[in-house]
Structure 1
Amino acid sequence: MIRLGLRLAIAGGRDAIARLVTIAAAVALGVLLVTSILAALNGFFAQNTRYAWFNSGSQHAAATAPAAAEPLWWRIDHDQFDRQEIGRVDVAPTGPHSPVPPGIPRLPGPGEYYASPALAALLRSTPADELADRYPGHLAGTIGQAALPSPDTLVIIVGYRADQLSHQQGARQITLINGTSPDDCGCEIGVDAAGIDLVVSVVAAGLLFPLLIFVAAATRLSAARREERFAAMHLVGATPRQISVLATVEAAAAAVIGTALGFALFYLLRDRIATIPLTGDPFFPSELRLGGWEIAAVALGVPVAAALAARVALRRVRISPLGVSRRATPRPPRAYRLIPLVAGIAELAYLVGRRPETNNGQTFAYLTGFLLIMAGLVAAGPWLTMVGSRFLARRARRSAPLIAARRLADNPHAGFRAVSGLVLALFVSSVAVGVITTIDDYRGPVAVGTQFRGTLTQDFFDDEHRRPGTATVVADPVPAGLRGLPGVRGVTVFRVNPASTARSPIPDGLVSCVDLARIPQYGQCPPGAEVAEIFPDVRQRGPDGPDGPHPPYVWPAATVGADQLTRLPVLTIMVQTNGSTATVERARSVLELAYPDQSMPVLDGDFGNTFTNMLAGWQQLANVVIIASLVIAGLSLAVVMAGGLSERKRPFSLLRLTGVQLSVLRRIVVLETAVPLLVAAVLATGAGFLAAHLFLRAQMDYTLRPPGVVFYVISAAGLLASLGIIASTLPMLRRITGPETARNG
């Protein structure tokens, strides 16, 4: 029977070849997407491991380090250029056997540095006063892949003498280079991978469900003709088991071909896939690899799933030898089909305040809830279609809606089958967009008013203890040349207020009213004052701040006189520029060279830049899932529509013979698909937002924020594209409903 099934699949005529190609293409697309997601997960963990050596100075690394006679002086910092993060590591050996970071053959000596290939290219293409002048010495070589999370990573390792580096703030001695991944050591640099498995699992499920529906839809192509062929074989003595084997072999053969093609496409396109920043940064192609169990799971699981879908799709043939001709109206679906959907929502609701403590427990709990909801949407779809058809029948005033409503009520399973893939795609889209939008609203960067754009801030307080830094009691802390730098519009110096009331972890400040008058957007002094008190929320003030338009703020007068102000420690230097990259980076270079022991000068809006990049990476992944699931759902809809019209050509041709106009038939076809599509789409979108809200409440204690206009545009575009697919099949009606169809039926 297996040999006969292969022969029917390959040499069964044009219909068999078309079905084989369609199923193989569907499987190949799905395998390509699933393998790409699995490889991206492996690439992400490889990226995260490459951050380990940056944490060599962390408490974890120090606690596990063995004693060494020749430690390494180590200072890690970060820099920026044109909104790009630059990792900086200053090193100074105490002897020839001091530890060496990965990716370089030796430690750089004083006046030398190693740079990543991306940073080396940036140094060559950028004027020295904008970037290269910040790093003393010359380029000794490039850092190898072993130390770089991504091809685009900007990293520099600068060499010093031990007596130079040991006196710099933040320098410490280390005895080994840390090799523990950030998700295991709890280190600051890198990503704690807790929850990544959950995200990728939901992503894989979001792609797998529409894929299985697509495969099942392709398997049902020419189902009526195949059922008649199998029923005839049943009449001449074929057993139900043999019939099932034939149907299974046909689908499995196409699935095996598609699986092999999908793997071939993945390895063929791997270099291009590596350039897509699925998680925020592109990958090295060699890191997009699949493990043995992953290859086996996909290679075996996809054909098995296709075979099961084929058996379910052709289950009617197993009723009896005359099962095909004995077709009656199936029993209407019952409301109990809502149970899986309600159970999935109830599970997510239960986890609010009761989430498991372990990462694996959270992954299992949330994934079970999401899978239950997706399965529940598919199970509840026919019942919702029946409810929608009854509503349509009550509202109908013409023949087309009445006929469409009656046909949907007779077989709501078939009506919903056409749109089930799109319903799941809308659910996945609403979950992804809801979660990303909410996280961005809670943790994304604060909007900066126009008066603060292009303002470079050099802080002089310690980031860890929020206390003023050292050696900042100077009369004029503005570096030479900064005031006259082209593009610099003003420089304002804020000093520490000795009478600070500690209302904020950042000390209160003082500013000269003469300086403040030159920058009215920061507020103004009261009449007659020489010095004003400035509170840490200075960035919230001004006529165009995040709080909305309001008049310039009048700061309270300080008790400190202008002559006393210069004897106080410097709190912050703010440099107003024209906002151009050249001006900002030149000013940044001047400040970094003048104050090498202080924190990096930043632009307003740079705060949270790393998290913003990571969030953008997950948004990129969500967009990939949304687009891929919508494409798969659209293909499923096209296949089901084409197959459904082919199966119904005889009843439609009989309607035309009785005088029904072709335009009426077209409206019937549209209504039969649009009603379940719209009804289930509303439920799927609502269920998606509810699931996202429950997940956010349980995992992060966030409340769902409404998505932006982009989501509604994408959803509307998906629905319009679906209606376009439906409309594209309507010309078939004229060709397949002629008198010859009724005569030959």
Structure 2
Amino acid sequence: MGVRFAVGGGREGWIRTLLTAVGVGLGVMLLLGAASIPTMMEGRSQRGEARLPLEGDQSVPRSAATLVEAGADTNFRGDAVRGWLLRPDGDRAPTPPGVTALPGPGEMVVSPALRELINSPEGVLLRERLHFKDVGTIAPPGLIGPRELVYYAGSATLTTDDGGWRIAGFGTTVKSDPLDPALLTLLIVGCVVMLMPVAIFIATAVRFGGERRDRRLAALRLIGADVRMTRRTAAGEALFGALCGLLVGAVLFLAARQLIGGVTVWDINVFPSDVTPVPGLAALVLLAVPLCAIGVTLLALRRVGIEPLGVARDSAGRRRRLWWRLPLPLGGLALMLLNGRVTGRGAQVDPYLVAGGAALFLLGVTLLLPWAVDAAVARFRGGPVPWQLAVRRLQLSGSAAARAVSGISVAVAGAIALQLFFAAIQDDFMKVTGQDASRAQLQTTLPSHDIGSIRKMISEFRTTEGVRGVIASIDASASRPGPLRRGEEFRPSTRVTVGDCGTLRELAHTGPCKDGDVFVVKDSSGAVEADYIAKTARPGATVDFAPEDESGSPSSHPRLWTIPRSARTVDSRQDPTGQMAFGLLATPGALDPKLLHRPMARAMVKIDPTVPDAVEHVRNTAARIDPRTQVYALQNTARDKQFTSLRTGLLVAATATLALIAASMLVTMVEQLRERRRLLSVLVAFGTRRATLAWSVLWQTAVPVALGLALAVAGGAGLGLALLRMAGKTAFDWSVVWPLIAAGGALVLVVTLLSLPPLWRMMRPDGLRTE
């Protein structure tokens, strides 16, 4: 009979069922998305590992089934571009996943997103950098996500002596580090915070049309139905709406699944095939939603007296009690604190205690909101007509208003707690790099050891657009000539750095400097012993740049150089990358770099911030010299990768949750207006101005929202303090609270404005028509 009411109730019945289905469907869509997260992460991880070079314990011998590869990654305007150079050793060389044939020299295969970027007007600079011929497309098995920027380029000159690695195939397993206990706590609480509003909205949606339903049940009582029968009838009606919601949610999920490939949120995008719910979790959603609908309906009817001549709820009900609501959040905090410390030695996380405590606390916040609304509006008196209309409506049915905003209250409370925890522990996952970004902003190292390429790099960087200065050095090592002496296990050696006077001043306190000078640098950091340097780097001594042979003996072809007696001993200075120089510093006029064995070139570039895309011009120059040249940004601090990944994931989930909150609140608002359509029509028929009614609707939303946000601040602060105590922190950063409150208020304002058009349509005298 309940199903027949939902289906055969005419236009009103179908509208009620449709609104319930949409409200439940939005929640089901997000729940199915959450159930797909393990599959998404596993798919991305598997494809990422499948394209990694196959590693072995021993070097791979050259054969027709091997190839030489080298990384050629770059960045473009903040987006990572993954790249590899490949040179096959024979016709049976392996191909990376998603690539049908290896590109030849000067050719490349690219991902669809990279091709789209290169061919767009925004990708002109990147097109100059990747100057290979586009000959193919990387298929999805070779990409982590559909919007990933990836390329494989062919090389004719790449060798293992020039920085390449010989491999026999692709695909390896990467052992991930266990998640830090503090980050695991953050992840667990974040999941609870994201899913609690979904559960609340589903519970709210199955109660749509409650007042009209209760009047129908009173009619059933009039023709002989008892109380238990009416409750079962209401449960059947709610069950049908929930089942329709499951169907709507599945349809919305499948539609969003097809569109998700073109969406990138916080640098994360996935293939539609990855968005597949875990079967066990999907079954749990399909079972829990109908049971939730039945349970919520029966629970709601316990406070409603349905009699043959009317519904007792239409009169003033008894006051809500506080005594049984407070133990829930307090019990939740107690459960979380029972877990103990999640930082330092002996840190451990019990997921059941943390998740159960957080869920119990947020449930307590939800249950406190109706009491807070009733307690506040009972004291309101007088005021303008819109205010009086709104207050009277809240006094008669404050529970409906509280249900409408309970989701946003829980979401804001949880977000405040998470942000407080983030702000408190982020210093633990950030390290000071020692780099000085004010002296140079970029660093690059040339993989080639050819001195001609090194000189080309230095000269081209200095003439690149947007470059204000270059600190360029050529590094090698030098040893004391001759055989080992008594008690020595190896020949003493030291570092040798060649650069102009401007560069050497950035590496040491040289004082006056001219081309032809040499300096002996003491390591003022204490990392290298002074007498160790003195055995090789001292004025008048002779050093050998030739490497030792395989037996460890001096080379039969030494490269000797005598340090000038005029060399001055100076103290080292921390360079922009945070490193300390030691050993020998020489200008090109004193030491010809051609004497050095396998020299390494390093450049630190200072860019002009007023030149657009100055960083991209530097990257283009580096790629033009050698595609394997890496350009790194210097930064004073660096974040832990696990912390950054978790923060990004929670931001993606929070964005999806806020979108659901906005859509669900709009559906709830329209349903409440539809319930009050006859009342609005009566007021309009009696001459009430539409502006008065619009303001009354706004106040009916604003008052519960203000109370809900106040409760959210208190609840979020309480939960945040518990998390801080678990982390052993005391800092409480209030600055992270106000933006969340503003976001919650703005969200409600937007939803209220979107509900005004339906309100205008409902404020018509013809709404009095009935059958």
CA offsets 1:263-292 (integer angstroms, 9 cap, x no match): 223323433233222462322233333454
Other structure's SS at 1:490 match: strand
Equivalent AA in structure 2 for residue 421 of structure 1:
G
* 1:280 counterpart (264, 267, 273): 267
Matches within 5 A, 1:329-348: 329-348=317-336
Structure with greater proportional helix content: 1
Change (3 A) 1:409 1:578: closer
| 1:227 aligned onto 2:214 | yes
**2:238 — aligned with what?**
251
**1:28 — aligned with what?**
25
The 1-side partners of 2:496 and 2:668 are apart by 62
Equivalent AA in structure 1 for residue 27 of structure 2:
G
The 1-side partners of 2:383 and 2:90 are apart by 93
**1:167 — aligned with what?**
161
| 1:48 aligned onto 2:59 | no
The 2-side partners of 1:694 and 1:65 are apart by 53
Change (3 A) 1:711 1:296: same
**8 Å contact from structure 1 (residues 389, 405) kept in 2:** yes
* 1:215 counterpart (205, 208, 211): 205
| 1:600 aligned onto 2:630 | yes
Equivalent AA in structure 1 for residue 208 of structure 2:
A
Other structure's SS at 2:73 match: strand
Supply the RMSD in Å over aligned alpha carbons: 5.8
**2:576 — aligned with what?**
538
Change (3 A) 1:344 1:494: farther
| 1:150 aligned onto 2:145 | yes
How far residue 47 of structure 1 moved from its aligned partner, in angstroms, is: 1.8
Change (3 A) 1:339 1:185: same
Equivalent AA in structure 2 for residue 683 of structure 1:
L
Other structure's SS at 1:458 match: strand
Further displaced range: 639-648 or 71-80: 639-648
CA offsets 1:703-734 (integer angstroms, 9 cap, x no match): 66532875343123135447768999998999
**2:79 — aligned with what?**
84
- TM-score, length-scaled by structure 2: 0.70
* 1:588 counterpart (603, 619, 633): 619
How far residue 247 of structure 1 moved from its aligned partner, in angstroms, is: 0.8
**8 Å contact from structure 1 (residues 348, 691) kept in 2:** no
**1:624 — aligned with what?**
656
How far residue 51 of structure 1 moved from its aligned partner, in angstroms, is: 0.6
**1:422 — aligned with what?**
408
**1:483 — aligned with what?**
462
The 2-side partners of 1:605 and 1:527 are apart by 28
Equivalent AA in structure 1 for residue 226 of structure 2:
T
Change (3 A) 1:709 1:386: closer
The 1-side partners of 2:252 and 2:340 are apart by 42
**1:381 — aligned with what?**
369
Equivalent AA in structure 2 for residue 258 of structure 1:
G
CA offsets 1:568-611 (integer angstroms, 9 cap, x no match): 977741334456566544533433454667x6023446996996
Other structure's SS at 1:51 match: helix
Change (3 A) 1:582 1:453: farther
**8 Å contact from structure 1 (residues 210, 629) kept in 2:** no
Other structure's SS at 1:538 match: coil
Other structure's SS at 2:311 match: coil
Change (3 A) 1:428 1:389: same
| 1:371 aligned onto 2:366 | no
Change (3 A) 1:207 1:133: same
Equivalent AA in structure 1 for residue 17 of structure 2:
L
Change (3 A) 1:380 1:291: same
How far residue 246 of structure 1 moved from its aligned partner, in angstroms, is: 1.3
**2:530 — aligned with what?**
none
Equivalent AA in structure 2 for residue 687 of structure 1:
G
The 2-side partners of 1:77 and 1:578 are apart by 26
**2:537 — aligned with what?**
none
**8 Å contact from structure 2 (residues 674, 762) kept in 1:** no
Change (3 A) 1:289 1:411: closer
Unaligned runs of 5+ residues in structure 2 are 479-494, 520-569
CA offsets 1:152-181 (integer angstroms, 9 cap, x no match): 2222334457x9421133x4444442253x
**1:677 — aligned with what?**
705
How far residue 215 of structure 1 moved from its aligned partner, in angstroms, is: 0.8
**2:95 — aligned with what?**
100
How far residue 406 of structure 1 moved from its aligned partner, in angstroms, is: 9.4
| 1:573 aligned onto 2:603 | yes
The 1-side partners of 2:186 and 2:631 are apart by 33
Matches within 5 A, 1:284-433: 284-316=271-303, 324-325=311-312, 329-354=317-342, 363-389=351-377, 392=379, 413=399, 416-431=402-417
Other structure's SS at 1:714 match: helix
**8 Å contact from structure 2 (residues 215, 310) kept in 1:** no
**8 Å contact from structure 1 (residues 279, 618) kept in 2:** no
Other structure's SS at 2:170 match: coil
Change (3 A) 1:176 1:362: farther
| 1:492 aligned onto 2:471 | yes
CA offsets 1:454-494 (integer angstroms, 9 cap, x no match): 9542147x9xxxxxx97789995744444334444433325
Further displaced range: 528-537 or 662-671: 662-671
How far residue 682 of structure 1 moved from its aligned partner, in angstroms, is: 1.4
Change (3 A) 1:157 1:636: same
Other structure's SS at 1:87 match: strand
The 1-side partners of 2:243 and 2:47 are apart by 37
How far residue 533 of structure 1 moved from its aligned partner, in angstroms, is: 6.9
**1:8 — aligned with what?**
5
Other structure's SS at 1:250 match: helix
**1:264 — aligned with what?**
251
**8 Å contact from structure 1 (residues 280, 618) kept in 2:** no
How far residue 338 of structure 1 moved from its aligned partner, in angstroms, is: 1.4
Equivalent AA in structure 2 for residue 332 of structure 1:
R
Equivalent AA in structure 1 for residue 736 of structure 2:
P
**2:109 — aligned with what?**
114
CA offsets 1:233-271 (integer angstroms, 9 cap, x no match): 235432333212211122222222232233223323433
The 2-side partners of 1:725 and 1:124 are apart by 40
The 1-side partners of 2:76 and 2:453 are apart by 28
CA offsets 1:107-141 (integer angstroms, 9 cap, x no match): 45555543323334555568999556767965453
Corresponding pairs, count: 683
Change (3 A) 1:614 1:577: farther
**8 Å contact from structure 1 (residues 433, 711) kept in 2:** no
- TM-score, length-scaled by structure 1: 0.72
**8 Å contact from structure 2 (residues 217, 306) kept in 1:** no
